[in-house]
Amino acid sequence: MQPTRSPEPRPDPRPDPGPKPRVRLRIALAFGLALAADALFIWTEFVPPVAIVVDLGVATGLFFLLGARWSLLPVLLVEILPVTAAFPTWTLAVTALASLRRR
């Protein structure tokens, strides 16, 4: 008497649906936060303490929305520098993190 073998599992024929709706919502909220922060720069450019507080708030919000990403720390450091704050670095960071998440 031979032992019975269980059938091997078949691969799932359905295609990968992509990110879950909750992940999409978090990425969309992160984009909105980043765009708002980069737009708010126009009014906080000449008041560095306010700009630093806004940048810390944005970094904290993105930390909670996108998860613990160490790549947000260099972006925060770049945003604190007055010369480089004119670039939309928060939006670029969220774009990079969102594209890396899909891989």
Give the residue-averaged pLDDT of 2-18: 65
Distance CA 7, CA 72 (A): 47
Q: How confident is the model at residue 103 (pLDDT cuts 50, 70, 90)?
A: low
8 Å CB contact between 34 and 94:
yes
Domains in the chain, number: 1
8 Å CB contact between 57 and 40:
no
The full DSSP string for 5-23 is PPPPPPPP-SPP--S-HHH
Judge whether residue 64 has pLDDT over 90: yes
Give the residue-averaged pLDDT of 69-86: 81
Q: How confident is the model at residue 30 (pLDDT cuts 50, 70, 90)?
A: very high
In a domain? residue 38: yes
In a domain? residue 12: no
- Ramachandran region, residue 18 (left: φ > 0; alpha: ψ -120 to 50; beta: rest): left
Domain containing 81: what range?
Answer: 21-101
In a domain? residue 4: no
Q: Indicate yes or no: pTM above 0.75.
A: no
